[in-house]
Chains A and B, each alone.
Chain A
Amino acid sequence: MAKTLFDKVWDAHVVERLQDGTCVLYIDRHLVHEVTSPQAFEGLRMAGRRVRRPDATIAVVDHNVPTTDRKSGIKEADSRLQVETLERNVAAFGVPYIPLLDERQGIVHIIGPELGASLPGMTIVCGDSHTSTHGALGSLAFGIGTSEVEHVLATQTLLQKPAKNMKVAVEGTLPFGVTAKDIVLAIIGRIGTAGGTGHVIEYTGSAIRALDMAGRMTVCNMSIEGGARAGMIAPDETTFEYVRGRPMAPRGEALERAIAWWKTLPSDPGAHYDKVVEIDAATIAPMVTWGTSPEAVAPITGVVPDPSEIADEAKRAQVERMLEYMALRPGQKLAEVPVDMVFIGSCTNGRIEDMRAAAEVARGRRVAPGVRALVVPGSGIVKRQAEEEGLDRVLTEAGFEWREPGCSMCLGMNPDKLTPGQRCASTSNRNFEGRQGPGGRTHLLSPAMAAAAAVMGRLADVRELAR
């Protein structure tokens, strides 16, 4: 029978099928961070269990860490406690750990692929919903809760039922100024935040194949914002080229053997998808969200919607609430909305390619008066590479702050957060109420669009700044 990419990776990892169709699924890679793991380690301790495969596990701190100089330690007591707890747990259970001051430290979803810890065809889990990022390599990667973190630590497996298959095909050539972030925001705008629920999304089509790995990771990262626990892209030469030479990736003959298997993974012709969505790349514009759900998104050339034009009562009430929270007027031009803050970073857009895109717009310009703009590289390796390329100077000369790696203002678990009423142009993934700080207002967009917002002092169409 013709199989999808998801079917093939799934089938290769089924240890046992139980009577009701639930499978014991073998997990190749388990990424651990400080926020969702303490109770899992505590559970192991109480049950007298050990970590079954420490060698398949990697721990790092990212959510809590300050993005200013940290050589003198973490000042915030809550954050420090969580970091110290992880350090105690990894020591007690023998789990490999990347410490805060190690250059390889960074956001868990940036460093997995960067180190070659995430590979095509793998099953990869982490107690974080943006684990979907790693699916860009052609792996099956999804977020799990703390109970499941404990389950994986103890057994290196999960009990799962297979998801349904969904295909999102993006065909054609992206217009000038349109990026991977715009693709995924356009997809979520089309399918809605529950459009992928119960499914694994496979992204296909010429516009997806043309993306570099960073762009593919941005797209897969936000699968969960479309309701899908995982997103996947078939591995190809772009993928193999990316993997080659990474510290934890196979080498030599082992790599050739791996590639031979990876080449068998793309979906077979005629494979069945439970849902199919087709998008014409040529119709996608630079996107920006206007509401408090990622599906509340529009092209930057558009306007804030008018709730009075929405027939469905529940939907209308939801939009009214969003506009009130976001302090936007129906019909207001999105390109006229002023911003107070700009955040460039996160597991969605914290890679070197994102830093380059932001620096390209910032070069020779200045952050608008009254605007504060943070650039937070996704890892120490991204940071060093950006500095070697001189991007940090370009950005700081333009008035951007160049900071240490971590999750930062994506979710405001460290000191980087919005104050009530502040409006932020953000390259992160969620614009939920209070996500970047209580009362904060978030507009999601691409790194180039965020940099454009910083220099214009308002949401702006990056194409206007083209040189």
Chain B
Amino acid sequence: MEPFSTVDAKAMPLDMTNVDTDQLVPARYLWRPRQDGYAEILFHDLRREPGFPLDAPAHKGAAIMVADRNFGCGSSREHAAWALVDSGFRVVIAPSFGDIFYSNSFKNGLLPIVLPEARCAELRAALARNPGTHLVVDLPAQTVTGPVGVNDGFSVDSFAVDPLRKELLIAGQDETGLTLSLAATIKGFVAGYAEAMPWV
């Protein structure tokens, strides 16, 4: 997993609530081997609709998406995070996320950021007025910054992130290594547990 620190990149607004994982990756593409890449599968059906922002020339190279509430709701398919990462996205900003998608994102070097609903709407409106504008996401400082000189009310927003997830993301490390380092503790737990609950 690629280590994460600061992302200074074009941001794409997406004005849709409840974007579900079936829209991010329709089920009929879940067969695809991971190594074949999921970039072209991202929003497979929606991106064919006129006006969908993903393939707009101004958003080419966008690594940040500013979305609306309940982004990534629905199924547990990690393919949704893969498709975003394979398309170059490193950050999704939204008022809220589906819980499983939120968790899957961190495991793929994709940072989900929760900002207030009104703030996300402002950011999307500003990005719609100035397509291709950059945002700067600084994970160590936990800030999202708009560009200087664009009179769209951009400023600095702070966001919250679990310290452990932040640490792993910055290090580009997966959780399994960390957990395996606790093997002795797990073994100790299991011994007591097996005695207390022999039926499990």
Measured between beta carbons, the chain B residues less than 8 angstroms from A35 are 30, 77
What does the 1/0 interface line of A1-34 toward B look like (CB < 8 Å)? 0000000000000011011111010101000000
Interface centre among B23, B33, B78 (most CB of A within 10 A): B78
In the complex, whether A135 has a CB less than 8 A from a CB of chain B is no
Interface centre among B107, B164, B197 (most CB of A within 10 A): B197
> Given A227-B99, A432-B74, list of 11 further CB < 8 A pairs?
A20-B162, A128-B75, A129-B75, A131-B76, A145-B107, A148-B104, A148-B107, A155-B180, A159-B178, A293-B20, A434-B22
B199 to A432, Cβ gap below 8 A? Answer: no
Residues 78 to 104 of chain A near chain B (Cβ within 8 Å): 78-79, 81-82
In the complex, whether A411 has a CB less than 8 A from a CB of chain B is yes
B185 to A15, Cβ gap below 8 A? Answer: yes
B78 to A147, Cβ gap below 8 A? Answer: yes
A20 to chain B, nearest CB (A): 4
Residues 132 to 178 of chain A near chain B (Cβ within 8 Å): 143-148, 150-151, 154-157, 159, 161
Q: Which stretch from A249-257, A356-364, A395-403, A451-459 is at the chain B interface?
A: A249-257
In the complex, whether B103 has a CB less than 8 A from a CB of chain A is yes
In the complex, whether A353 has a CB less than 8 A from a CB of chain B is no
Per a CB cutoff under 8 Å, which of B16, B70, B162, B174 touches A194?
A: B70
B75 to chain A, nearest CB (A): 5
Alpha-carbon distance between A151 and B99 when the two chains are bound, in angstroms: 18
Residues 431 to 459 of chain A near chain B (Cβ within 8 Å): 432-435, 438
Q: Is the interface of A mostly helix, strand, loop or mixed?
A: loop
A-B contact count (CB 8 A): 173
Alpha-carbon distance between A103 and B127 when the two chains are bound, in angstroms: 56
Alpha-carbon distance between A324 and B74 when the two chains are bound, in angstroms: 22
Which residue of the partner chain B has the closest CB to A13?
A: B193
Q: Which 10 pairs across A and B sit closest by C-beta, in order of nearness?
A: A250-B199, A145-B104, A147-B107, A145-B78, A78-B31, A143-B76, A20-B163, A194-B70, A146-B78, A15-B189
Q: Count residues on chain A whose CB falls below 8 Å from chain B CBs.
A: 72
A333 to chain B, nearest CB (A): 26
Q: Count residues on chain B whose CB falls below 8 Å from chain A CBs.
A: 53
What does the 1/0 interface line of A32-46 toward B look like (CB < 8 Å)? 000110110010000
Alpha-carbon distance between A115 and B78 when the two chains are bound, in angstroms: 28
Per a CB cutoff under 8 Å, which of A49, A127, A155, A432 touches B186?
A: A155
B53 to chain A, nearest CB (A): 15
In the complex, whether A122 has a CB less than 8 A from a CB of chain B is yes
A314 to B17, Cβ gap below 8 A? Answer: yes
Measured between beta carbons, the chain B residues less than 8 angstroms from A394 are none
Alpha-carbon distance between A146 and B34 when the two chains are bound, in angstroms: 11
Measured between beta carbons, the chain B residues less than 8 angstroms from A434 are 22-23, 26, 45
Alpha-carbon distance between A446 and B179 when the two chains are bound, in angstroms: 43
Measured between beta carbons, the chain B residues less than 8 angstroms from A78 are 31
Which residue of the partner chain B has the closest CB to A85?
A: B33
B70 to chain A, nearest CB (A): 4
B185 to A198, Cβ gap below 8 A? Answer: no
B29 to chain A, nearest CB (A): 10
B164 to A26, Cβ gap below 8 A? Answer: no
Measured between beta carbons, the chain B residues less than 8 angstroms from A258 are 197, 199
Measured between beta carbons, the chain B residues less than 8 angstroms from A432 are 20, 22-23, 74
In the complex, whether B141 has a CB less than 8 A from a CB of chain A is no
B175 to chain A, nearest CB (A): 5
Per a CB cutoff under 8 Å, which of B22, B70, B186, B200 touches A435?
A: B22
Measured between beta carbons, the chain A residues less than 8 angstroms from B100 are 129, 143-145, 224, 229
Residues 166 to 200 of chain B near chain A (Cβ within 8 Å): 174-176, 178-180, 182, 185-186, 189-190, 193, 197-200
B76 to A154, Cβ gap below 8 A? Answer: no
A263 to chain B, nearest CB (A): 14
In the complex, whether B27 has a CB less than 8 A from a CB of chain A is yes
A159 to B179, Cβ gap below 8 A? Answer: yes
A145 to B162, Cβ gap below 8 A? Answer: no
In the complex, whether B28 has a CB less than 8 A from a CB of chain A is yes
Alpha-carbon distance between A224 and B72 when the two chains are bound, in angstroms: 12
Alpha-carbon distance between A16 and B192 when the two chains are bound, in angstroms: 13
A331 to chain B, nearest CB (A): 23
What does the 1/0 interface line of B68-109 toward A look like (CB < 8 Å)? 111001111110010000000000000011111001100110
